[in-house]
Amino acid sequence: MKTTPLPELTPVLKQLRLSGILDSLDTRNREAITKKLSYPEFLALVIQDEAGRREQKKYGMRLRRAGFRGDKTLEGFDFDFNPGINQQLITDLAQCRFIDEKVAVLIAGPCGTGKSHIAQAIGHCAVRRGYDVMFISQSNLLAQIHAARATGAIERKMQALTRVPLLVIDDFGLKPLKAGQDEDFHDLVAERYERTATVITSNLDFSEWGEAFPNKLLGASTLDRLRHAAYRLVLDGKSYRTPRSEYDPKNPTLEKGAKTEK
């Protein structure tokens, strides 16, 4: 049973918003006695525990706010599946220096080549390094902006989208922008330009991105800002979303997706 060495500390620690110290205080107290630690050494351990708990709590909050779809990390990405992928560039981007540079990362490639996974993995790395991140699809982003305008909260919404240090926009150009949406997208990019970092994924080739805009002049202006000093990553090769093998009634022991020996 865990006991607090000094029960009278409990209300004081709670008042000071340091009640997390209670979680390890008994363990650290016994450790101090066993190892004959000095008072400063004991105090340092307790403070380090509290700092670690607070950082873990902040990390959890950043992770929840990011809105990632599952646990898409670099550790979980199969680089061997498509050897042609530029792993060196991805590894470099994962260091998140581009966030301090306040530039964009533009990721293009066919369906299923891992664009969303890589974008979210970079976002995960940013969260681990203490950055606030937002992951959102183009469709959802524009829907949220439209809803904010309808309720009179557009200024606050745009400020929130502008200030987040790393905004990851998935599936750009999957649905062509409608009139008005291209203006919203341009305004957001313009406000973030040289102030914050943005990652954008798209199934379109880079040369085709302008086709997503009904207003070509507005599109050219938007893309000019995005491309300035941006890192470009092209993912090509086989799709990671390969269908499972059909069930073979002549070989009922063969599981779906299993491979036969030759």
Query: Mean pLDDT throughout 39-68?
Result: 87
What is the C-alpha separation between 194 and 109, in angstroms, rounded?
25
pTM of the model: 0.79
What is the C-alpha separation between 230 and 103, in angstroms, rounded?
6
Which pLDDT belongs to residue 237? 83
Residues 255/260/261/262 CA torsion (nearest 10 deg): 160
What is the C-alpha separation between 4 and 23, in angstroms, rounded?
9
* Domain extent listing, the chain: 9-65, 87-234
Q: Could you tell me which residues come within 8 angstroms of residue 216 by beta carbon, excluding any fewer than 6 positions away?
A: 210
What is the C-alpha separation between 150 and 169, in angstroms, rounded?
22
Q: Could you tell me which residues come within 8 angstroms of residue 184 by beta carbon, excluding any fewer than 6 positions away?
A: 142, 145, 146
- pLDDT reading at 255 higher than 70: no
Per CATH, the number for 87-234 is: 3.40.50.300
pLDDT per residue as tens digits for the range 173-194: 999 999 999 999 999 999 999 9
- The secondary structure element, H or E, covering residue 176 is none
Query: Minimum mean pLDDT among 32-41, 145-154, 210-219: which range?
Result: 32-41
Query: Minimum mean pLDDT among 48-57, 76-85, 190-199: which range?
Result: 48-57
